[in-house]
A = this chain, B = another copy of it.
Amino acid sequence: MPVLDYETIRETLHGVLCKFGFREPDAGWIATLCADNSCAGVASHGVHWFPGLIGRTERGQVDKDAEAVCEASLGALERWDGRHAPGPVTARRATDRAIELAGASGVGAVAVRNTNHWARPGWYGAHAAGKGFGLICWTNTVPNMPAEGSAVPSLGNNPIVIAVPGNPAPVVTDIAMSQFSYGRLNEYAARGEPLPVVGGCDIEGNPSRDAAAILKSGRLLPVGYWKGTALSFALDVLAASLSGGACTAEVSARGEKGVSQVFVAFVIESDHGAHVLSTASGLVKAAGNSRYPGEGSYATYMDRRRNGVPVDDEVWERILGWA
């Protein structure tokens, strides 16, 4: 796997987006986000995610010329129509607007319909935390996970992010409602390694640690069995209800077109916040845990900004073919 300089990655992606006709600031934002995500150790939602965005744009599932619009303002809550503009661009705009609303009212929320895959959810959390705000955001998606005890996917694995400012690393909890994300299952399947814990069922319905067997059956385990089942359902219904958009049952399977997302930002009083994080992380670390959520990806990010970012050979060749 070649190790590339962060700026090389960012500039190359930026050039490709410009060639495909993405406008500014969208092209710059998407390039930065993908480079950041690979740099933070999440290549599946960074450089490796990039060709999929180009593909969905070429197929018309993502509209590079569109821009999300506010359909209704209730004061501190806005409903937006994403108009199928690139997901990460709309998600960044919505995060920034939620922050702006929170700056005025203490809490601010933007609910977006008709949007699409936003790459790595934690990026928006780290972005808000970097500006001194707390953020809860989540998305729905296609039915890609069966409810506990069912063999048929009827729920999305609907990732949720909770982020709080921290120094230097923000707290960023970023979890999908399946015990393993599709990205992680693909990694284990490619390496032929067993999952560390049961991640779903094989085609016969037996609990399994075989990522390939779970990918084949499509029977991913909801995180915490009935608990992830319930959380996924509630996140879906709340996102679609707030945004006026589609629920998981209605999201187009082709390219995850038309998902619903919610962004809720909160003012954090910085001195007390710093005391809280120091106290909470102190107890966790005294109990033998080396990191709080977000510290690992922050450390990886800082290391790779200095020493380079590993990128899959084939993916990079494909991107260079567009450059």
Chain A residues with a Cβ under 8 A of chain B: 73-78, 102, 104-109, 134, 136, 143, 146-147, 149-155, 162-164, 171-173, 175, 179, 197, 223-225, 227-231, 233-238, 240-242, 244, 247-250, 264, 266-269, 272-273, 276-277, 279-280, 282-284, 286-289, 292-293
**What is the bound-complex CA distance between A7 and B179, given in angstroms?**
43
Asked if B107 and A175 sit within 8 Å, CB to CB, the answer is: no
| CB-based closest 4 A-B pairs | A77-B106, A74-B106, A223-B224, A75-B105
Beyond A223-B227, A266-B238, is A152–B249 a contact (Cβ under 8 Å)?
no
Q: List 14 A-B contacts (CB under 8 A).
A: A75-B105, A107-B109, A107-B264, A147-B284, A154-B287, A154-B289, A162-B231, A164-B237, A171-B237, A173-B230, A179-B224, A233-B284, A233-B293, A244-B272
Identify 7 new A-B residue pairs, CB closer than 8 A, beyond the known A223-B228, A224-B228, A242-B266.
A106-B109, A134-B241, A154-B289, A164-B238, A224-B224, A238-B266, A241-B268
Residues of chain B within 8 A (CB-CB) of A277 are 237, 241
Contact B107–A233 (Cβ < 8 Å) = no
Complex contact B227–A175 (CB within 8 A)? yes
Q: Once the chains are docked, how many angstroms separate the CA of A276 from the CA of B246?
A: 7
Could you tell me the distance in whole angstroms from the C-beta of A260 to the nearest C-beta in chain B? 9
Cα distance A238–B280 in the bound complex, in angstroms: 11
**What are the residues of chain B within 8 A of A283 when measuring CB–CB?**
143, 154, 248-249
A282 to B249, Cβ gap below 8 A?
Answer: yes
Most buried by B among A237, A238, A264, A289: A237
